Amino acid sequence: MSHNKGHIPRHLARGKDTPAPVKYGIISMDTTPETLALSSSAAAAAAEHEKLVSQVDRLARARSVIVSTDDARVRARLRALSLPMTLFGEGEAERRERLRSYLADLEMEGIDSRTAGLSPGDNQDIAADDGGVEAMDETELVYTEADPALVAARHAILAASQAAAAARRARLAATLGSRDAATLEEDRIRSLGNATAKHVYVSSQRAGRRTVAHCALAPDGARLATCSWHGCVKVWDAASCELILDMPTAHEERASGVAWSPAAGAGGVDLASCAADMTIKLWNVDAAAAVATRDEAPPPRAVLTGHRDRVSRVAFTPTGDYLASTSFDATWRLWDVASETELLLQDGHSRPVYALGMHPDGSLVGTGGLDALGRVWDLRTGRTAMVLQGHVHAILALDMADNGYHVATGGDDNSVIIWDLRKQHAVYILPAHTKLVSDLAFIPGGSSTLVTASYDATLRLWSGTNMSLLRTYTGHSDKVTSVAVAANAAKFVSSSFDRTFKVWASP
């Protein structure tokens, strides 16, 4: 059918009152602007989002600002900026961060932080040296000769991690060999998450006179260790919750962390504990139980000293031969369990180091600090494998999944971030809780299935396939301080400010 030029077919013609056509039938082409008012909740959420984005941007800018590591120069720069050279109770690290934060604010206002507050004569004396050690670090790698014991430890860790990595790769290859195998593996992970979501708390036990700071399950899941703020360390039967070993004076100050050795039960070191008394103690549980009394703790197998401030967390390598620790002295350290000696003192955080996580191969260790920064360290070389920069506030929890490449961090900003070691960046950011995330743990065999604990008195379970929320567990009457998952994923245990621990399992 054809039409003359300029003639409009009847079925396409429209009258004077016929509405103008719209694209694709639903989109109005009216150019009159229309403004829709946000609801109060949406406006509050938008404001909170804008605030969070601003904080992240400010944090990123602060990391790019070069500040001298010489405290005398930091004081001089603060004075040149008409700021107090020191505040009550402020240490060198806090003073340096205060200067960095102020200079970052100047950068956001468009002011050159390198020359702000300085006269022309000061530029060479103060500003030009502000790079200090940090400026050198960006252009030159500096190596120091390692102690022979550390070199031997690195070789041992390398050999053990290669064997573990080969076994993990073989398991992964079996699940990814075909489309059907990958589908079956995804179904298995989903089923594991669904089974864990059905857990209820099957038992509860009061574990101390004060806050139960941390808990850990033995590799076989049969025993549970807890530590409390009154310096007590206890070992329990995980099934019956009956007390096996009570060490009321294990530490002189608040105990902050416990960890089981993978070699527990072999007659050597079974358990490690740490505390605000700046010590790490190694225990043989059976030997300690044989001599323990109601009022006195048995002598530890060894006491490791060296940290200059309270020790936050401890973790064994998968072989049980080495132990890592983090501390408020802004360092983490590596210890030889057999010789009871310090092998490595490593800095890299500007504030106290709190969180600690060990890679399933033993090749990497992750640390998280109150400087909102996480780092993954290669124990085979001593170098940083990845910097975890994304949290706005302190990182308080860190764990590494047994798939070998996922790392989870949680912190004082109420969020959880999932990182991919292969891609070298974050893959999920979860607004996990309404208060700070105190601890988290991957479910063994569940890819990235994750349990998180929070000061909002809840625990939450996140899917290993898409990180969606599967379940919120309630039962504690106060802040939850830690969570530990059994190696067979049949149960997990949580501790709390309510002075109890609870065992969660299928009814």
Extract the tokens encoding 138.
């960006």
What's the confidence (pLDDT) of residue 344? Answer: 95
Tell me the average pLDDT across 243-248: 92
Distance CA 233, CA 174 (A): 42
- Across 370-475, where does the E strand assignment appear? 373-378, 384-389, 395-400, 406-411, 416-420, 425-430, 437-442, 450-454, 458-462, 469-474
Segments in 228-309 forming alpha helices (H) = 285-291
Condensed to tens digits (0 to 9), the pLDDT of residues 162-174 reads 999 998 888 777 7
Is the model's pLDDT at 254 over the cut of 50? yes
In angstroms, what CA-CA distances link 29 with 17, 23, 33, 35? Answer: 17, 7, 11, 16
Instruction: Report residue 321's pLDDT band, with 50, 70 and 90 as the boundaries.
Output: very high
Total Cβ atoms within 10 A of residue 34 = 6
- Of 131 and 423, the structure prediction assigns the larger pLDDT to 423
Q: Which position has the token pair 């969070």?
A: 52
Of the ranges 93-102, 134-143, 359-368, which is most confident? 359-368
CATH architecture observed for domain 152-505: 7 Propeller (2.130)
What's the confidence (pLDDT) of residue 276? Answer: 96
Under 8 Å between Cβ of 97 and 68: no
Distance CA 311, CA 258 (A): 11
Sign of CA dihedral 30, 34, 38, 42: positive
What's the confidence (pLDDT) of residue 56? Answer: 67
Tell me the average pLDDT across 275-279: 96
Counting residues of the chain whose pLDDT is more than 90, the rounded percentage is: 56
Query: Of the ranges 195-199, 217-221, 424-428, which one carries the lowest mean pLDDT score?
Result: 195-199
- Of 40 and 187, the structure prediction assigns the larger pLDDT to 187
Condensed to tens digits (0 to 9), the pLDDT of residues 62-111 reads 666 777 778 888 888 888 888 888 888 788 878 888 888 888 888 777 77
425-430 β-sheet, strand order? 395-400, 406-411, 416-420, 425-430
Is the model's pLDDT at 374 over the cut of 90? yes
Under 8 Å between Cβ of 372 and 394: yes
Is the model's pLDDT at 143 over the cut of 80? no
DSSP for 57-117, written as a single string: HHHHHHHHS---S-HHHHHHHHHHTT--S--TT--HHHHHHHHHHHHHHHHHTT--TTTTT
What's the confidence (pLDDT) of residue 163? Answer: 92
- Of 488 and 47, the structure prediction assigns the larger pLDDT to 488
Distance CA 416, CA 420 (A): 13
What's the confidence (pLDDT) of residue 136? Answer: 38
Is the model's pLDDT at 127 over the cut of 60? no
Instruction: Report residue 277's pLDDT band, with 50, 70 and 90 as the boundaries.
Output: very high
Instruction: Report residue 406's pLDDT band, with 50, 70 and 90 as the boundaries.
Output: very high
Query: Of the ranges 32-46, 131-145, 223-237, 370-384, which one carries the lowest mean pLDDT score?
Result: 131-145
Of the ranges 25-34, 44-53, 286-295, 489-498, which is most confident? 489-498
Helix, strand and coil percent figures for the chain, each rounded to 5: 25, 30, 45
Q: Could you give the maximum distance between any two Cα atoms of the chain, in Å?
A: 109
Q: In this structure, what are the phi and psi dihedrals at residue 10, rounded to the nearest 5 degrees? A: -60, -40
Tell me the average pLDDT across 41-70: 70
Counting residues of the chain whose pLDDT is more than 70, the rounded percentage is: 81
- Of 121 and 231, the structure prediction assigns the larger pLDDT to 231
Tell me the average pLDDT across 456-465: 94
Query: Of the ranges 152-161, 176-185, 315-324, which one carries the lowest mean pLDDT score?
Result: 176-185
Tell me the average pLDDT across 201-222: 93
- Of 441 and 93, the structure prediction assigns the larger pLDDT to 441
In the predicted model, what is the mean pLDDT of the chain? 84
Q: Which sequence spans correspond to the domains of the chain?
A: 43-139, 152-505
- Of 49 and 494, the structure prediction assigns the larger pLDDT to 494
CA angle, 475 then 454 then 423, to 5°: 130
Is the model's pLDDT at 460 over the cut of 90? yes
Instruction: Report residue 26's pLDDT band, with 50, 70 and 90 as the boundaries.
Output: very low
Is the model's pLDDT at 157 over the cut of 70? yes
Instruction: Report residue 129's pLDDT band, with 50, 70 and 90 as the boundaries.
Output: very low
- Of 37 and 418, the structure prediction assigns the larger pLDDT to 418
